[in-house]
Copies of this chain bind each other. A is one copy, B any other.
Amino acid sequence: MQKIQTVLSPLLLQLTSLEEKVVVVIDVLRATSSICVAFAHGASKIIPVATPEECMQYKIQGFIAAAERDGKPVDGFSIGNSPFSYMTEEINGASIAMTTTNGTQAIQLSKAAHRVIIGSFLNKKAICDYLIQENRDVILLCSGWKNNFNLEDTLFAGALADALASEFIIADDASIAAIDLYRLAEPNLNEYILKSSHAHRFKVLGIEKDIRFCLQQNIYNKVPVLKDGFLISV
């Protein structure tokens, strides 16, 4: 059987070889959820970029450009990382350039892996099916908050590891902890996440509606995959 391990912060990814593995990048509030939303609404491709400046260059070339820092759209950009920004008509068929505080950075760090895919509660079952099909060692990479551990990404890593426990070897303590936290939180995920240390930040940002949306399970069945520097949907 192949193995699953969970990396609780991008800063810890350096401890692990990416070679021949599939990395699931997780930033459920909100970058990786919004990426799933964009593809569900017909986006053609998404290029994750490191900085707002780079993102602006793509905007000039005609991409839809999305830039978020500290939970808010960056000045000069109309779109940040709220999932509701990716449900419009103009998303259909569009090429999008995106930079976010945590999620797009985690994607960049994962590039050396055999495959990089994008996970969220919204496409959980599709992710599980994909990983079983690929039949390789898996790294669940939690984007966290500025390299710090966060609850919501860990809970989703736990949800995936729990769902895949009969098909893979659970290979590290981080996966065991994530599974147990997910089982504890699962009866009321929304309430559990609102007890997190970021709850106050969520309130200030006014994103409780985004959170409720992002915690829905299996409303999409597509898997965003990184190919030649672009995310496409398979």
Chain A interface (Cβ within 8 Å of chain B)?
8-9, 11-12, 14-15, 145-151, 154, 170-177, 180-181, 184, 195-198
Is the pair A196, B181 in contact by a Cβ cutoff of 8 Å? no
Chain B residues within 8 Å of A147, by CB:
12, 15
Is the pair B146, A173 in contact by a Cβ cutoff of 8 Å? no
Q: How far is the CA of A9 from the CA of B177 in the complex (A)?
A: 14
Is the pair A197, B170 in contact by a Cβ cutoff of 8 Å? yes
Is the pair B184, A180 in contact by a Cβ cutoff of 8 Å? yes
Chain B residues within 8 Å of A8, by CB:
8-9, 149
Is the pair B176, A197 in contact by a Cβ cutoff of 8 Å? yes
CB distance from A197 to the nearest CB of B (A): 5
Q: How far is the CA of A184 from the CA of B179 in the complex (A)?
A: 12
State which of B145, B151, B176 has its C-beta within 8 Å of the C-beta of A196: B176
By beta carbon, the residue of chain B nearest A174 is B149
Q: How far is the CA of A19 from the CA of B101 in the complex (A)?
A: 26
Q: How far is the CA of A14 from the CA of B148 in the complex (A)?
A: 10
Chain B residues within 8 Å of A12, by CB:
9, 11-12, 147-149
Q: How far is the CA of A65 from the CA of B8 in the complex (A)?
A: 35
Q: How far is the CA of A156 from the CA of B151 in the complex (A)?
A: 18
Given pairs A12-B147, A175-B197, A181-B181, 10 additional interface contacts (CB within 8 A): A8-B8, A148-B174, A151-B177, A154-B177, A171-B197, A172-B197, A173-B196, A173-B198, A176-B196, A177-B177
Chain B residues within 8 Å of A11, by CB:
11-12, 14-15
